[in-house]
Amino acid sequence: MPAPASSPSSPPSPLRHALQDYLGHLGVERGLAENTLGAYRRDLQRYVDFLEAAGVGDVSAVREEHVSAYVVALRNGTDGRGALTASSAARAASAVRGWHRFLLEEGRAADDPAHGVRPPVPPRRLPKALDVAEVTRLLDAAGAAEPPVGLRDRALLELLYGSGARISEAVGLDVDDVVAAATADGVVRLRGKGSKERVVPVGSYARAALEEYLVRARPALVSAGRGTAALFVNSRGGRLSRQSAWAVLQSAAVRARLGSRVSPHTLRHSFATHLLAGGADVRVVQELLGHASVTTTQVYTLVTADSLREVHAATHPRALRRSPA
């Protein structure tokens, strides 16, 4: 069983003190979002519990075999916690590697015991994307509700597909972030993970939907509240929540007969896949999506390659299997 954590009245152990310093570094110097920081905290507290249960009381005493044993424990639950999937275990192992790298760089450890430990490799899951006809059905269905809600819902989903924004980024927008949306060179200012800001163009359909919403629907919605800078507003006049935006998407998907295939990331996946299928450079798509690494974006190129193979097999005269003589 894991060792009990230090009581609130006692000073933290050397391990826990080092962990507090690292979490402070992630929050202050690297500016991680609170949800991301919470995930690091949970993963690393489990790691510290594991080390203390193994008799390790300080970072200088951690060896590679401790890290390897912890990765095994993540997958089979032998530390008294629930076993994790390969993807969740890989995330937790990545947090451990980051902490030990930090300790080495800060001179608080003589070596990095996690350097040679390979995290579990999760199965590659290709993102699900709608085809263009399905996206059109979804967007049409979003505007089926009576105004002003229908105009808001259509503008929200048009923006998600037209800009590749995450739902959390869309509901975090203020009106000033899309002040130029109705112009020919309209852009939207998105704030992504780690509060990183990027400016993304929006297409003509999204611009038209936003303009109609801002003129014909938002004033009526805002009047129900005390006034807000939020772009997307709920029926009480406050900022639309992420959960409510998800409900908007799900309702439109049901009306469009797309069912459970549609998730909060579906339009973002479709945005990226359709751009690459149309010939966009992967690094341009990386910038539009706000990915820190092009490796994250390259998963979409696999989707596009599969589509190209299907088209090639169906249309090229010498791609079909030859019939026996």
Catalytic choice (46, 268, 269, 274): 268
Kindly report the three-state secondary structure assignment for every residue of the chain: CCCCCCCCCCCCCHHHHHHHHHHHHHHHHCCCCHHHHHHHHHHHHHHHHHHHHCCCCCHHHCCHHHHHHHHHHHHHCCCCCCCCCHHHHHHHHHHHHHHHHHHHHCCCCCCCCCCCCCCCCCCCCCCCCCCHHHHHHHHHHHCCCCCCHHHHHHHHHHHHHHHCCCHHHHHCCEHHHHCCCCCCCCEEEEECHHHCEEEEECCHHHHHHHHHHHHHCHHHHHCCCCCCCECCECCCCCECCHHHHHHHHHHHHHHCCCHHHCCCCHHHHHHHHHHHHCCCCHHHHHHHHCCCCHHHHCHHHHHHHHHHHHHHHHHCCCCCCCCCC
Per the residue annotation, which of 75, 81, 193, 255 is the catalytic one?
Answer: 193
**Catalytic residue chosen out of the listed positions 166, 218, 269, 274:** 166
Query: Are the CB atoms for 255 and 141 separated by under 8 Å?
Result: yes
Which residue in the list 265, 274, 318, 321 is annotated as catalytic?
Answer: 265
Enter the tokens of residue 283: 């690094």
Q: Fill in the amino acid letter for 65.
A: E
265 is catalytic: yes
Q: Are residues 59 and 14 in contact, defined by beta-carbon separation less than 8 angstroms? A: yes
Q: Which of 22, 161, 213, 300 is catalytic?
A: 300
Cα 150–Cα 154–Cα 157 angle in degrees, nearest 5 = 140
Quick count: other Cβ atoms within 10 Å of Cβ 168? Answer: 17
**Catalytic residue flag (residue 316):** no
Amino acid at 253: A
Would residue 205 show up in a list of annotated catalytic residues for this protein?
no
Residues designated catalytic: 166, 193, 265, 268, 291, 300
